Amino acid sequence: MKTQLLADEILNTMNLRKRYGIFNNNMMFLLNDDDKALASELQETCIEFDEKIGGISGHNNMNLYDHFSWAGKHGLINRTNDYPHRDDLHIGMKAEIIRQWTMDILNPQLSLALGASVLAINPIAHHNEGRENLRKDLVDLLDGNKIGCICITEPERGSDAVNMTVKAEKADDGFIINGIKCYNTNSPAADIAVVYAVYNTEDPRGTMVQGVSHKAWDKGFRAERIGIPSVPHIQIGKTIFNDAHIPADYVTGDDGKGYEILFEGLVPERIGIAALNVGQMWGAFTIASIYSTLRKQFGEKILLHQAVGMSVLAKYHSRLMAATMALLKLAETYDEKKDELAGLPPTMNPLVAFASQMKEFTSYLYHDLTYELMHAMGGTGVTDQTLMPYYQGVSEIAEVVGGTRNVQLLIGSRTINTMVKMS
Ligand SMILES: Cc1cc2nc3c(=O)[nH]c(=O)nc-3n(C[C@H](O)[C@H](O)[C@H](O)COP(=O)(O)OP(=O)(O)OC[C@H]3O[C@@H](n4cnc5c(N)ncnc54)[C@H](O)[C@@H]3O)c2cc1C
């Protein structure tokens, strides 16, 4: 921080152990013993890390990309995919959510950047079919020795992502990609990009491909950072594919298979973003709840002024608890039903709708909650003495990442149509 204004007592009480403690007490009856043991193990690793980087000053000056290998070593990048080279980690959507929330309370931007690498991990984990090169990429990404990004959006194709214009052309070995993608989280810092393109722009569904490109290759991708002031530590890019060759060994979906994979990835991606929104709300809430019980004005803790305690803290606490319970239920449903529902078309698969609904709901709540809690902390809320401004920053982009509210609500409106027809 530039200059400390907070009293030592308040600053010291806002330590990470205390913040995890408040979160854990809220989870007391929502998590089972195994979940709590996992949370506690991951939290201890993060507390050690936080002390090592020097607390808030370390977070303010962080180069996120220096810490991917630390996160990977501790299984803090992903818990939904099996690790080909490790069998000591809990895997599943519930374990992933606990990992996610642990990271969200530690550092919201690091957590988001790791999440974008996971978007490259997911398709490689599911479509490497005995290919050693892809298996190596998967291990490198899970271990955080390489950084990944996903390239779907284009300058002229955002919400209408399926109708992409970036072209693929068949080559003797794999295909060649030409065109520009944009808003790709991590791409300026990334080693590996998972990219989508089409052979025929008139038939994107039937000709969509997906492949893996390496920046280090002669014919790989390159990226230029774009400015997104609300997340100053995350590198988000314009990603350029100029005769980028994807050898057959790195093709994860050809001749329309890319379209299937695009949709297969959207459900875990949107549940993941919803989980991040909820975890980051806990991060913001733990800070504001400590502050409001220690800060006094007019001779009273500000929590006891009804306008702060009831109208803000208690109001958003109740909304956050409701979102948390809903998300945990969705994670359990996903773990139980994903294989059974996998073959259904997106309009018939209830997980597609649940994921969109949860993403839309939590994104708006995250923004609303953070604005209110930040201002319940007065001037302190906007300074660099706590992580609050970083939560506020991520909450600014929560709506647009993974598709805006209208895209999620479009899916929701089609679901209503299907439900009525089915009934
Ligand atoms: C910080 C950040 C990180 C991102 N990370 C990635 C990433 O890692 N990889 C990646 O590929 N992309 C990424 N994106 C891109 C993101 O998915 C797109 O920005 C998003 O899908 C919206 O596309 P757009 O920006 O082109 O907006 P547009 O599609 O142009 O939308 C503009 C407005 O029109 C509305 N709209 C559009 N179509 C309709 C419709 N049919 N009905 C009603 N309203 C509509 C939208 O809701 C929005 O309000 C990221 C974006 C940001 C800002």
pLDDT bucket at 220, cuts 50 / 70 / 90: very high
Single-letter residue type at 2:
K
| Eight-class DSSP state of 166 | -
Q: Which CATH number fits domain 8-143: 1.10.540, 1.20.1260, 1.10.3470, 1.20.1300?
A: 1.10.540
The helix/strand/coil state of 301 is strand
Q: Model confidence over 287-344: pLDDT tens digits? A: 999 999 999 999 999 999 999 999 999 999 999 999 999 999 999 999 899 889 888 8
Q: Is 395 in the pocket of ligand 1 (CB under 6 A)?
A: no
Q: Which residue lies with its CA nearest to atom 7 of ligand 1?
A: 184
Q: Which residue from 153, 184, 233 has its CB within 8 A of the most atoms of ligand 1, so it is best to mutate? A: 153
Q: Is 118 in the pocket of ligand 1 (CB under 6 A)?
A: no
Residue 190 is predicted with a pLDDT of 98
CA atoms of 189 and 153, how far apart (whole Å): 18
Residue 272 is predicted with a pLDDT of 95
Q: Is 184 in the pocket of ligand 1 (CB under 6 A)?
A: yes
CA atoms of 151 and 196, how far apart (whole Å): 6
Q: Is 198 in the pocket of ligand 1 (CB under 6 A)?
A: no
CA atoms of 241 and 248, how far apart (whole Å): 17
Rounded to an integer, what is the distance from CA 88 to the centroid of its chain? 23
* CATH 1.10.540 domain residues, the chain: 8-143
Mean pLDDT of 218-224: 98
CA atoms of 352 and 337, how far apart (whole Å): 12
Residue 242, phi then psi, degrees to nearest 5? -120, 100
Place of tokens 């492949």: 211
Mean pLDDT of 398-420: 93
Q: Is 195 in the pocket of ligand 1 (CB under 6 A)?
A: no
Q: Which CATH number applies to 259-422?
A: 1.20.140.10
Mean pLDDT of the chain: 96
Residue 116 is predicted with a pLDDT of 97
Mean pLDDT of 42-65: 97
* CATH 1.20.140.10 domain residues, the chain: 259-422
Atom of ligand 1 nearest to the CA of 404: 47
pLDDT bucket at 265, cuts 50 / 70 / 90: confident
Mean pLDDT of 159-175: 97
Residue 207, phi then psi, degrees to nearest 5? -125, 10
* CATH 2.40.110.10 domain residues, the chain: 148-255
CA atoms of 314 and 309, how far apart (whole Å): 6
Q: Is 153 in the pocket of ligand 1 (CB under 6 A)?
A: yes
Q: Note whether 170 and 209 are within 8 A (CB).
A: no
Q: Is 406 in the pocket of ligand 1 (CB under 6 A)?
A: yes
Single-letter residue type at 184:
N
Q: Is 185 in the pocket of ligand 1 (CB under 6 A)?
A: yes
CA atoms of 393 and 399, how far apart (whole Å): 12
pLDDT bucket at 266, cuts 50 / 70 / 90: confident
Q: Model confidence over 222-253: pLDDT tens digits? A: 999 999 999 999 999 999 999 999 999 999 99
pLDDT at 162 over 80: yes
Q: Which residue from 399, 400, 405, 413 has its CB within 8 A of the most atoms of ligand 1, so it is best to mutate? A: 400
Q: Is 400 in the pocket of ligand 1 (CB under 6 A)?
A: yes
Cα(158) to centroid of ligand 1, in Å? 5
Residue 284 is predicted with a pLDDT of 98
Atom of ligand 1 nearest to the CA of 153: 11
pLDDT at 263 over 90: no
Residue 242 is predicted with a pLDDT of 98
Residue 159 is predicted with a pLDDT of 96
Q: Is 236 in the pocket of ligand 1 (CB under 6 A)?
A: yes
pLDDT bucket at 153, cuts 50 / 70 / 90: very high
Nearest to 55 by CA among 25, 21, 14: 14
Cα(405) to centroid of ligand 1, in Å? 9
Rounded to an integer, what is the distance from CA 71 to the centroid of its chain? 15
Q: Model confidence over 84-137: pLDDT tens digits? A: 999 999 998 889 999 999 999 999 999 999 999 999 999 999 999 889 999 999
Q: Model confidence over 330-358: pLDDT tens digits? A: 999 998 998 898 888 777 888 999 999 99
Q: Which CATH number fits domain 148-255: 3.40.50.720, 1.20.1070.10, 2.40.110.10, 3.40.50.11540?
A: 2.40.110.10
Cα(318) to centroid of ligand 1, in Å? 30
CA atoms of 343 and 291, how far apart (whole Å): 49
